[in-house]
Amino acid sequence: MRKSIATVSLSGSLSEKLTAIAAAGFDGVEIFENDLIAGPLSPEEVRSRTADLGLTIELYQPFRDFEAVPEDLLAGNLRRAEHKFALMERLGADLMLVCSSVSPRAADDDALAAAQLRRLAERAAAHGIRIAYEALAWGRHVETYDHAWRIVKEADHPALGLCLDSFHILSHGGDPRGIEDIPGDKLFFLQLADAPLMAMDVLQWSRHYRCFPGQGGFDVAGLVQHAVRAGYTGPLSLEVFNDVFRQADAGRTAVDALRSLLSLEEAAQTGALPAPVVPSGFAFAELAAADPEPLRGLLGALGFARTGRHTGKPVELWQQGTARILLNAAGADRREGPGLVALGLETPEPGAAVRRAESLLAPVVPRHRRGQEVPLDAVAAPDGTELFFCRTAQRDHADWTDDFAAAPGPPGAAAGLSHIDHVALTQPWHHFDSACLFYRSVLGLRPDESLELADPYGLFRSRAVAGADGGLRIALNVAPGPGDQGARPQHIAFATDDIVATVRRVRAAGVALLPLSDNYYDDLEARHDLDPRTLATLRELGILYDRDEDGEFWHCYTATVGRVFFEIVQRTGGYRGYGARNATVRLAAQRAAEQRGNTARI
């Protein structure tokens, strides 16, 4: 199906928006009237600009407060419409959106609404223009699509049809199955938006919190299927009002938007993509550090041993169990210090995983093959983290570890860390919904619910994505304020089967864990009936504790090096979370450590 987006969904001038929309690969565009009015381009210039960019103008919108008015107002409304028809002819647009009236002057009179819309359609038809009538969820008298359809049916004019909008229908709690009872040739347009499920005034919800399909909680794919079954053949067009997208980079948002539609078409079975290849776990995590020495020391004390050295680059491989860390001394950002730059994902079929990612607009990372280097299948996530699809030590596929020559460091004492349990990626402020959609659609991971974590200087949002079997877990966090963009640390969590033994060993090896206050343990004692010896051990070692109905979670944190820190975790039973209840304590302790270290808070 053709893919389109309303200009209001993006940031910038009309010219910037059109450029971003075309660059992302959309077929068409809805021109939002205010974007035209506020800009310097004439309608003719917009027409030629869109044509040059290969975009079709699918819709001109919105025309408001037209129908079911007294005759004296109707004349003015028709006059207003004639002005807009003339404008649309200059623009080369032949479909106009008419929203159900919100005017206090509008009558609750379907026959009158139908008669006046018919007059409008007659006028439109004279210009070769058609009218798509849409029920706003907050319309004065017409607020459901089936009500709008009764009026359109009664008006009975070939230039008058319906516009369906997934937000207006699903936010209102309407049953979209009735769409299938509408003749397909009367479905003139289909606008799509998702939204997080919130109990709030629908107008505010619509104006500020809409998001792209797959980012919210509505079954937008189901609605598309009903429209397609009804015979709808027009474009799938996104119309999203979102406070964050209004501020974000238009080019990035447009790519995110098209990814959303591609993923939606897969879900609605109106388009196909290469099947997702869900990673089973982490092959490695790569840290960039211009000065790798502090991380070498920390990894060594955590029981990691250096086992290899890249044959062509200044990259070391450190390993413990199947937890592998690459230490890359090239190209690190010296200002912010060491940071997490890439993840290796164990994947059944790396080539298929890359094809999936490419089809969903993920940029493929150029593979610099040099000499004996093993080809790597890699794409970039929206936050710039590179994702390498790997098969470690499998005979059926080139092995990335072949690029590393054995270079054992001093023999360390392993501390019982077995693998990477999860990584936590702090997303720039504008990219949170985009990141969730990326990991969900590209890697086929399932998002958990979105949480709020209280940092001393604002609320973090956090949402985890994970494979069905829990083999791959990524926590996506967004820092409270744009001032903190990218500056808050990421982290890597290592799993152990015996956190007490592990912590005793790493402490003996010199690891300073994040100090926690006695108050935390007093509260733990009040909340949970832990046996006194266990509690004393937790208190002694600085281990945090959580439980849910399925199991228990024990965890602790190292100090932060540059933009990265490590977590040690033990899961017992079927505990599925990440210790969110302890996040406030951890965040406060980290802020306090930063302040003690005179690290400027940004």
The answer to whether residue 12 forms part of the interface with its own copies (CB under 8 A) is: yes
- Say if residues 137 and 97 touch (Cβ distance below 8 Å): no
Rounded to whole angstroms, the Cα distance separating 473 from 464 reads 7
Minimum gap (Å) between residue 239 Cβ and its own copies: 15
Binding part of the chain for its own copies, among 79-87, 159-167, 402-410, 431-439 by CB under 8 A, reads 79-87
Rounded to whole angstroms, the Cα distance separating 314 from 565 reads 22
Tokens of 274: 């290469």
Check residue 92 and give left, alpha or beta (phi > 0: left; psi -120 to 50: alpha).
left
Q: ∠ CA 502-504-507 to the nearest 5 degrees?
A: 105
Binding part of the chain for its own copies, among 11-19, 159-167, 182-190, 487-495 by CB under 8 A, reads 11-19
Helix H, strand E, coil C: the string for 215-243 is: CCCCCHHHHHHHHHHHCCCCCEEECCCEC
Please identify which residue in 33, 89, 109, 358 interacts with its own copies, judged by CB under 8 A: 33
Binding part of the chain for its own copies, among 289-297, 360-368, 504-512, 586-594 by CB under 8 A, reads 586-594
**In angstroms, what CA-CA distances link 281 with 245, 394, 575?**
32, 14, 18
The answer to whether residue 600 forms part of the interface with its own copies (CB under 8 A) is: no
Minimum gap (Å) between residue 11 Cβ and its own copies: 6
Minimum gap (Å) between residue 454 Cβ and its own copies: 7
Rounded to whole angstroms, the Cα distance separating 560 from 592 reads 12
The answer to whether residue 42 forms part of the interface with its own copies (CB under 8 A) is: yes
The answer to whether residue 48 forms part of the interface with its own copies (CB under 8 A) is: no
Tokens of 142: 């017409």
Binding part of the chain for its own copies, among 83-91, 179-187, 487-495, 547-555 by CB under 8 A, reads 83-91
Q: How many CA atoms lie within 13 A of 388 on its CB side?
A: 22
Cis peptide before 408 (omega within 30 of 0): no
Please identify which residue in 71, 104, 173, 199 interacts with its own copies, judged by CB under 8 A: 199
Residue 80 or 296: the one with the smaller Cβ distance to its own copies is 80
**DSSP strand E in 250-335: where?**
281-288, 305-310, 315-320, 323-328
Number of residues that bind its own copies (CB under 8 A): 58
Rounded to whole angstroms, the Cα distance separating 164 from 182 reads 11
* Amino acid identity at 474: I
The answer to whether residue 83 forms part of the interface with its own copies (CB under 8 A) is: yes
The answer to whether residue 487 forms part of the interface with its own copies (CB under 8 A) is: no
Tokens of 566: 């490590």
The answer to whether residue 44 forms part of the interface with its own copies (CB under 8 A) is: no
Please identify which residue in 198, 405, 407, 468 interacts with its own copies, judged by CB under 8 A: 198
Residue 79 or 533: the one with the smaller Cβ distance to its own copies is 79
Please identify which residue in 25, 39, 178, 409 interacts with its own copies, judged by CB under 8 A: 39
Please identify which residue in 21, 26, 50, 84 interacts with its own copies, judged by CB under 8 A: 84
Phi, psi of 9 (to 5 degrees): -75, -15
Give the position of tokens 């509260």: 523
Tokens of 32: 């939002």
Find the helix or strand (DSSP H, E) in which 124 lies. Answer: helix 110-126
Residue 406 or 526: the one with the smaller Cβ distance to its own copies is 526
Binding mask of the shown chain, residues 233 to 272, with x at each position contacting its own copies by CB under 8 A: ----------x--xx-------------------------
**In angstroms, what CA-CA distances link 136 with 143, 215, 246, 589?**
5, 22, 22, 48
The answer to whether residue 372 forms part of the interface with its own copies (CB under 8 A) is: no
The answer to whether residue 592 forms part of the interface with its own copies (CB under 8 A) is: yes
Residue 257 or 379: the one with the smaller Cβ distance to its own copies is 257
CB neighbours of residue 221 within 10 Å: 20
CB neighbours of residue 115 within 10 Å: 17
Binding mask of the shown chain, residues 155 to 194, with x at each position contacting its own copies by CB under 8 A: ----------------------------------------
DSSP β-ladder status, 544-547 and 551-557: antiparallel
Binding part of the chain for its own copies, among 198-206, 282-290, 443-451, 468-476 by CB under 8 A, reads 198-206
The answer to whether residue 68 forms part of the interface with its own copies (CB under 8 A) is: no
Please identify which residue in 52, 108, 156, 201 interacts with its own copies, judged by CB under 8 A: 201
Tokens of 11: 């940031």
The answer to whether residue 585 forms part of the interface with its own copies (CB under 8 A) is: yes
The answer to whether residue 210 forms part of the interface with its own copies (CB under 8 A) is: no
Cα distance between the two ends of the chain: 46
The answer to whether residue 529 forms part of the interface with its own copies (CB under 8 A) is: yes
The answer to whether residue 530 forms part of the interface with its own copies (CB under 8 A) is: no
- Say if residues 392 and 283 touch (Cβ distance below 8 Å): yes
Binding part of the chain for its own copies, among 39-47, 278-286, 344-352, 488-496 by CB under 8 A, reads 39-47
The answer to whether residue 483 forms part of the interface with its own copies (CB under 8 A) is: yes
Rounded to whole angstroms, the Cα distance separating 12 from 40 reads 13
Residue 344 or 542: the one with the smaller Cβ distance to its own copies is 542
The answer to whether residue 280 forms part of the interface with its own copies (CB under 8 A) is: no
Binding part of the chain for its own copies, among 9-17, 271-279, 342-350, 468-476 by CB under 8 A, reads 9-17
CB neighbours of residue 352 within 10 Å: 16
The answer to whether residue 41 forms part of the interface with its own copies (CB under 8 A) is: yes
From the list 99, 241, 257, the residue with the least C-alpha distance to 163 is 99
Residue 183 or 482: the one with the smaller Cβ distance to its own copies is 482
The answer to whether residue 588 forms part of the interface with its own copies (CB under 8 A) is: yes
Give the position of tokens 């920390």: 298
The answer to whether residue 102 forms part of the interface with its own copies (CB under 8 A) is: no
Please identify which residue in 54, 70, 76, 408 interacts with its own copies, judged by CB under 8 A: 76
Rounded to whole angstroms, the Cα distance separating 141 from 101 reads 7
Please identify which residue in 70, 293, 527, 573 interacts with its own copies, judged by CB under 8 A: 527
- Say if residues 117 and 152 touch (Cβ distance below 8 Å): yes
Minimum gap (Å) between residue 460 Cβ and its own copies: 11
The answer to whether residue 454 forms part of the interface with its own copies (CB under 8 A) is: yes
Binding residues for its own copies, per CB under 8 A? 11-13, 16, 33-34, 36-43, 76, 79-80, 83-84, 87, 198-201, 204, 207, 243, 246-247, 452, 454, 456-459, 480-483, 515, 517-520, 522-523, 525-527, 529, 584-585, 587-589, 591-592, 595
